[in-house]
Amino acid sequence: MSDMAIAEEVRLAADDKAAAVPRSRLAVALIELALAVGSFGIGTGEFAIMGLLPNVAQEFNVTTPEAGYAISAYALGVVVGAPIIAVLAAKLARQTLLLILMAVFAVGNVVSAVAPSFESFVLLRFLTGLPHGAYFGVAALVAASLVRPNKRTQAVARVMLGLTVATLLGTPVATFFGQAVSWRIAFAAVGVMGALTVLLIWLFLPKDKVQEGASPMRELGAFRRKQVWFTLGIGAVGFGGLFSVFSYIASTATQVAGMPESAVPIMMALFGSGMIAGNLVGGWLADKNLMATIGGTLAGSVVVMTVLWLTAENPTMLSACVFLVGCSVAIGPALQTRLMDVAADAQTLAAALNHSAFNIANALGAWLGGLAIAAGYGFESTGWVGAVLAAAGLVVFGLSLASDQRSVRSSSISRA
């Protein structure tokens, strides 16, 4: 890193410290709660449709695979929306931006619940996905600004907790009522969660000032930083292993391990429990050693997914591996904080892009896992596909470290 870059980071840190407003623990907790409710609503809305696809397909008279276009449309909205919104909204105060993003999300889900045709439903899912990445990115920046630097990843993890809890509670409940009554009820309920988040953010998060010098061009500066690209690459590739396994876990449990269909909700609960544990523990570990947490999570994922591939026929081993695969979400808060470190003054764009990377991982993992299954390697092959993706993420991580070391050596030589 050059002297100029170091000086810039010191200046930014000083600005942040000067801008910080002392808040009570209760005030901080209420802000984190408001942001976490939003992440819970987003997580529920994103994942509940996976269990409701047959219902959507039946009502709109399309096949279940065709109904899956709605999932792809939402993911595309996340990938596209995160950078565009982060750049265009550079001159908005964070509280204002969060209110707008969650209002769009709420309206999008409510209107999705009354979509008159399949085409309109797919379009609405795309539009509803647009604020997803930007919301998480800005929420992470707000959470990190509320606490001391050595506690920031834990603060980010607490906001992300809503997303992980959604996989354990929100999604199953929404799926149950969606199947029992109507899939439209599920989306209407998610819309209500979005509206509740708007209210909570308005009540608990004080209005802030626009950062000095904020502009679209400054945010676009994130794309000029190698470490931003390396960090996004780690998430887009290395995190794909989780989605390779998760996308086909029901079939792996029933067709490979010979478990009854009634065991599938238990497997989903194990996965969700692992995500919650990984999110909280990962945040704590990252505040102790950020880079070791990222590298250790990737290395652990390689081992766990390899074991899953080799032992998937054993229900006990499969259950243990599913829990541990869920734990690999520990890398999420760590990568979010890493982006804050390497983005310098392009914080909003870099933070938002983290969730674009995760949605790329979602698509990549599910696609490659499906290819392996279609090639005749069986549902257990998602384990080795996941291991390969995690190993590839570890390679990108190594390249990132090597680049950092070269920058340090170059800076030392230039100073000498």
Quick: pLDDT tens for 31-44. Answer: 999 999 999 999 99
pLDDT given at position 8? 43
Is 386 in the same domain as 298? yes
Q: For position 17, what pLDDT does the model report?
A: 43
Assigned domain for 291 exists: yes
Measured between alpha carbons, how far is 47 from 207 in angstroms, rounded to an integer? 31
Alpha-carbon span 54 to 299, nearest angstrom: 37
Task: Please tell me whether residues 298 and 396 are part of one structural domain.
Answer: yes
371: which residues sit within 8 A by CB, 6+ positions away? none
Please indicate, yes or no, whether residues 132 and 269 belong to a single structural domain of this protein: no
**416: containing domain:** 221-416
Q: Are residues 283 and 192 in the same domain?
A: no
Work out how many domains the chain is built from and give that number: 2
What pLDDT is stored for residue 103 in this prediction? 97
Are both 250 and 201 inside the same structural domain? no
**Residue after which a domain boundary falls, among 177, 199, 214:** 214
Residues 262 and 325 grouped into a single domain: yes
Residues 358 and 297 in one domain: yes
Q: Extract the residue ranges of the chain whose pLDDT is less than 70.
A: 1-22, 210, 212-215, 408-416
Last residue of a domain, one of 214, 241, 276: 214
Q: Are residues 229 and 86 in the same domain?
A: no
Residue 345: predicted pLDDT: 72
pLDDT score at 191: 96
> What global pTM score does this model have?
0.80
Average pLDDT, the chain: 86
Q: Which residues contact 217 (CB under 8 A, 6 or more apart)?
A: none
Residues 324 and 331 sit within 8 Å (Cβ to Cβ): no
> For residues 133 and 354, is the Cβ–Cβ distance under 8 A?
yes
Same domain, yes or no: 207 and 300: no
Q: Does residue 1 form part of some domain?
A: no
CATH number at residue 49: 1.20.1250.20
Of the chain, the end-to-end C-alpha distance in Å amounts to 14
Query: Is residue 101 one of the residues assigned to a domain?
Result: yes
Nearest to 332 by CA among 216, 236, 219, 206: 236
Kindly write down the DSSP assignment for every residue of 69-95, as one continuous string: HHHHHHHHHHHHHHHHHHHHTTTS-HH
Question: Do 329 and 207 fall within a single domain?
Answer: no
| Of 214, 238, 257, the domain-final residue | 214
Is the same domain home to 94 and 71? yes
Tell me if 151 is assigned to some domain: yes
Considering the domain architecture, whether residues 191 and 263 belong to the same structural domain is answered as no
